[in-house]
A and B are shown apart, each in its own frame.
Chain A
Amino acid sequence: MSVLQPPAGPRTTEGPVPFLSRLHEWVATTDHKKLGVMYVTSGIIFLIIAGLEATMMRWQLAWPGQDVVGPEEFNRLFTMHGTTMVFFVGMPVLLGSANFLIPLMIGARDLAFPRLNAFGFWLFLFGGLLLYFSYFGGQGLYGMGSAPDVGWFAYAPLTERTFSRGHSTDYWILGIFVAGIGSTATGINMIATILGMRCRGMSLMKMPLFVWIMLVDCFLIVIALPPLAAAQILLLFDRQLGAHFFDAQAGGSALLWQNLFWFFGHPEVYILILPAFAFVSEIIPVFSRKVIFGYPLMVAATVAIGFISLGVWVHHMFAVGLSPLINVIFMGSTMLVGVPTGIKMFNWVATMVGGRIRLQTPMLFSLGFLCQFLLGGLTGIFLATVPFDWQVSDSYFVVGHFHYVLFGGLLFAILAAIYYWFPKVTGRMMSERIGTWQFWLLIIGFNLTFGPMHVSGMLGMPRRIYTYQLDRGWELWNLLSSIGVIFQLLAFALLVWNLLRSVFKGREAGDDPWDAWTLEWSTTSPPPAYNFDEEPVVHSRRPLWDLKHPDDPDWRYE
């Protein structure tokens, strides 16, 4: 290995950079900002793929007896949709935004382990490609290819070799396993960065809430992902080496998979939703022109959510037939999560009360998040109640519920974040007009699709069926759900158009277009490779406020 020193600054060369060296610049980068951009971009591409998969499903279910896709293909669609959305949309967007923003927010030049960071990203990307390669290689050399069809939680023993022939399930295991190692590595990297690389003056209680929430989030990643990897290796042993961990007929346990999977699966829900909290906790104060209400309580609530979410996983197993005592215990712990979450909701609202609210796109999407996440949280409390869960378990009510949390909640917050930080990432503004159109189309489309699902679920429609009969009374609700998809497709087309257009033609943003208060807005847009000329020194939670208003700095009050 010769000590070759390639040109360092990407934007210093005059004239157009040749494509190959541009590509090399991205492939060989260890810059947290470039990796963050690659994470989020691939997340958006996977989002479009998984969204199209969902569109196929809604087309098939639009009215009874449709024949758009067959039952086997339908099983593949919902499996790939769920798996992609959770592991290859939610995870990369959260890791990508943490990557891009955390070093900037804490005044550092990069993550603690920049090369490990690159390793994590590439593992994620190759894991995702491996999963989608299953469409070609799922059945090995035996015949036509096919993707996994076992649902995103892949219940054993249905995933055992006996019931799931071919290689599709192996691809599900391996793709997620590879990506999961990357996520765990990046989680550790983030924790090390946050705990060890903050600039002078930034004590833990002076970190932006985004950083606090991501810290808790990364702890959850590090705790929750290894049990999943373990379960997947056990399943791989069963399938490839003839072990019997989940083979009930040979003394294995079917419950073992459910316990291991959901011990990962529920914290995963919080791993996904905490970043949404992180985004809106930064956006709402800036667009209300007020300091966040109850910062210490927000931190405490985040930590509490982190702890409690590790102890609620059995609520996914109420219908299994465990003892009433266990059910009641986990019903209680699940309801308990509502307390810190409620505290957060109240604090966001209290931040807005009396503020000078600016209804620009980041704020619009944040408000969408607040309303829809609230609804998803409320149906979550219904579902936490054991008898109610028994009635609607595995029905479309559940599908409606978690889409209100993850789509109405997480995705709206992600969109808020895209509109908010896009100027920092690219140096250009996104179009407010297209953004507003997108917001309203998505509000209509989202609620039209997922609202009626609560009704069809109450009317007894099970999830994951590929078609239904005419006489069940589900026709109207399914048709409404499918019509909603049209609005959503329009909205996402607008988003893609807005992103592409703004990258090249957007208005110049300047360093600080929103008049914000955290450190990332103190450097240029896009930031230089080294982030800051000099290491910043902070005195309060809103360092830029202090600089902008020297007559009324925050540190006087904190």
Chain B
Amino acid sequence: MNDTHQHDQTEVIELPQPTASPMVCAFGFALMAAGIVTNWIVAIAGSIIMLVGATAWFMNSNPHSREIEASPEKKPRPIEPRTGVVDHLIEDSSHRARLPLEIHPYSAGITGGLIGGIAMALCAVLWGWFAHGSMWYTVNLLAGTMLTGYADMSMAELYAFHTEGLIVGLVIQAFMSIAVGLLYGVTLPLIPRGQIMVSAIIIPLIWSGLTWASISVVNPALAEHIEWFWFICSQIVFGVVTGWWIVRTEKISTMQNWHYLERLGMETPGVRDMGGES
């Protein structure tokens, strides 16, 4: 206490002296503006007020800014250091860890997506076979996303085999499966708990909701014939298989702890010791 008191006496904190001149100046300026739409007398009055304010302002800051001595107020509480309470994800790193520390390889996402896509297609085709007696039915419905004529097909035509329908259906299924699988692969390591739950239930439900909202625009043929229960089931099959495949692959650590030269792919013996794990 004693030395803070001494400190107060040695150092004087100066602050600008309070002054109403800026306010007066601003008020005069606003009145000048108001004069344009009211009466010229208002403008004259405004300019006089502004001049008074500006003069006071000038006097207040010239030749030296007028200062007053600040009277001391309450002091902040000193900050108490706390040691040993910080969790470290990587010891001895040159930077703060960026999450996730480990990811599934991108290839796991791609293969997972493909496998999930095959499983999903199998289920969908089997369902078409049992429910409608045609294994090409679901393929044709899917192909309707790109082949516009499919919206007007009769049931018999939809049951029949079409080469271009098969090719287009396969391409769509493969592309979507790989893209979604890749997204799964990138996202799942970011989810702390319940990855299978997210991949098997939550994402398929969100995806189904998106489809529900947009299907009449994207694929009128499918919109007409879709049976939502089985559609959602097939999404869940994809989610389960893809999620399972990705989660069971071994994780690899990200390159965040590597040395810059290493990330460039250069052979630099000895660099590892500079910050990375060995």
Contacts and interface: CB of A to CB of B under 8 A. Distances in A.
- Whether A associates with B in a native complex is yes
A472 B52 CA distance: 60
Interface string A529-553: 1100110000000001001111110
B36 interface: yes
A109 interface: yes
Interface residues of B, number: 55
Given A28-B19, A552-B86, A557-B94, A530 B26 contact: no
A115 B79 contact: no
Interface in A131-177: 133, 137, 140, 167, 170-171, 174, 177
Looking at A9, A11, A125, A133, the one whose CB has the most chain B CB atoms below 10 A away is: A9
B122 interface: no
A547 B79 contact: yes
The size bracket of the interface on A is: 35 or more
Contacts of B74: 524, 528
Interface in B12-46: 13, 15-23, 25-27, 29-30, 33-34, 36-38
Given A122-B23, A549-B82, A115 B60 contact: yes
Nearest to A554: B96
A123 interface: yes
Contacts of B223: none
A181 B94 CA distance: 48
A122 B27 contact: yes
Given A5-B68, A28-B20, A126 B99 contact: no
A523 B76 contact: yes
B90 to A, nearest CB: 11
Chain B binding surface SS class = loop
Interface in B220-275: none
A114 interface: yes
A9 B83 contact: no
Contact of B38 (A5, A140, A293): A140
A386 interface: no
Contact of B33 (A3, A27, A130): A130
B87 to A, nearest CB: 9
Given A8-B70, A547-B81, A123 B30 contact: yes
Interface in B67-81: 68-77, 79-81
Contacts of B80: 548
A512 B21 CA distance: 36
A29 interface: yes
Nearest to B101: A354
Contact of B68 (A8, A119, A528, A548): A8
B99 A170 contact: no
A353 B83 contact: no
Given A123-B29, A291-B96, A29 B18 contact: yes
Interface in B143-159: none
B132 interface: no
A25 B36 contact: no
Contact of A293 (B60, B82, B98): B98
A225 interface: no
B77 A529 contact: no
A115 B16 contact: yes
A109 B15 contact: yes
B16 A9 contact: no
A137 B190 contact: no
Contacts of A66: none
B100 interface: yes
A249 B225 CA distance: 60
B56 interface: yes
Which 6 pairs from chain A and chain B are nearest by CB? A9-B71, A122-B26, A126-B30, A119-B22, A354-B99, A528-B73
Given A122-B22, A130-B33, A533-B13, 19 more contacts: A5-B17, A5-B68, A6-B17, A6-B68, A8-B68, A11-B73, A24-B20, A29-B18, A30-B18, A114-B16, A119-B23, A167-B37, A174-B36, A353-B100, A354-B99, A528-B74, A530-B13, A534-B11, A550-B81
